[in-house]
Structure 1
Amino acid sequence: MTDTDISASQTMTEDEAAEFAEQVFDVARQGNAVMLERLLEKGLPADLRNHKGDTLLMLASYHCHADAVRVLLNHKADPEIRNDNGQSPIAGAAFKGDLAVVRLLVEAGADVDGASADGRTALMMAAMFNRNEIVDYLISQVVPNKIF
Structure 2
Amino acid sequence: MSTRKGNLALLQLLLNSGRVDADCRDSFGTTALMVASYSGHYDCARELIMQGTDINLQRETGSTALFFASQQGHNEVVKLLFEFGGSTEFQTKDGGTALSAACQYGHSKVVDTLLKNGANVHDQLHDGATPLFLASQEGHVTVIRQLLSSGAKVNHPREDGTAPLWMAAQMGHSEVVKVLLLRGADRDADRKDGSTALFKAAFKGHNTVIEELLKFSPSMGLLNNGSTALHAAVMGGNHKSVTLLLGANADPTLPNKNNELPADLTKSDRILRAL
Bucket of the pairwise TM-score, normalised by the shorter protein: 0.7 to 0.9
What is the rounded CA distance, in whole Å, between the counterparts of 1:11 and 1:142 in structure 2? Answer: 50
Mapping of residues 53-68 of structure 1, within 5 Å: 53-68=128-143
Richer in helix (by share): 1
1:12, CA displacement in angstroms? 5.3
Matched, 1:18 2:91: yes
What is the rounded CA distance, in whole Å, between the counterparts of 1:21 and 1:123 in structure 2? Answer: 29
Q: Is the 8 A contact 1:113 1:142 kept in 2?
A: no
What is the rounded CA distance, in whole Å, between the counterparts of 1:13 and 1:21 in structure 2? Answer: 15
1:83, CA displacement in angstroms? 0.5
What is the rounded CA distance, in whole Å, between the counterparts of 1:96 and 1:127 in structure 2? Answer: 12
Residue 155 of structure 2 aligns with an amino acid whose one-letter code is E
For the pair shown, the structure with the greater C-alpha radius of gyration is: 2
* 2:205 counterpart residue number: 130
* 1:7 counterpart residue number: none
Distance 1:23 1:46, change over 3 A: closer
Deviation beyond 6 Å, 4+ runs, structure 1: none
**Aligned residue pairs: how many?**
137
Q: Is the 8 A contact 2:188 2:197 kept in 1?
A: yes
Greater RCO (Cα-Cα under 8 Å, separation 6 or more) = 1
Structure 1: gaps spanning 5 or more residues: 1-9
Mapping of residues 1-148 of structure 1, within 5 Å: 15=62, 17-19=90-92, 21-142=96-217, 146-148=219-221
What is the rounded CA distance, in whole Å, between the counterparts of 1:23 and 1:43 in structure 2? Answer: 11
Q: CA RMSD in A?
A: 2.2
Q: Is the 8 A contact 2:99 2:119 kept in 1?
A: no
What is the rounded CA distance, in whole Å, between the counterparts of 2:115 and 2:217 in structure 1? Answer: 32
Residue 110 of structure 1 aligns with an amino acid whose one-letter code is A
TM-score by length of 1: 0.83
Residue 177 of structure 2 aligns with an amino acid whose one-letter code is V
What is the rounded CA distance, in whole Å, between the counterparts of 2:174 and 2:125 in structure 1? Answer: 25
**Partner deviation per Cα, 1:7-47 (whole Å, 9 max, x = no partner):** xxx99578452249444322111011111111112221212
What is the rounded CA distance, in whole Å, between the counterparts of 2:176 and 2:112 in structure 1? Answer: 17
Residue 203 of structure 2 aligns with an amino acid whose one-letter code is M
Residue 48 of structure 1 aligns with an amino acid whose one-letter code is D
What is the rounded CA distance, in whole Å, between the counterparts of 2:97 and 2:119 in structure 1? Answer: 13
What is the rounded CA distance, in whole Å, between the counterparts of 1:21 and 1:55 in structure 2? Answer: 9
1:77, CA displacement in angstroms? 0.5
Q: Is the 8 A contact 2:106 2:135 kept in 1?
A: yes
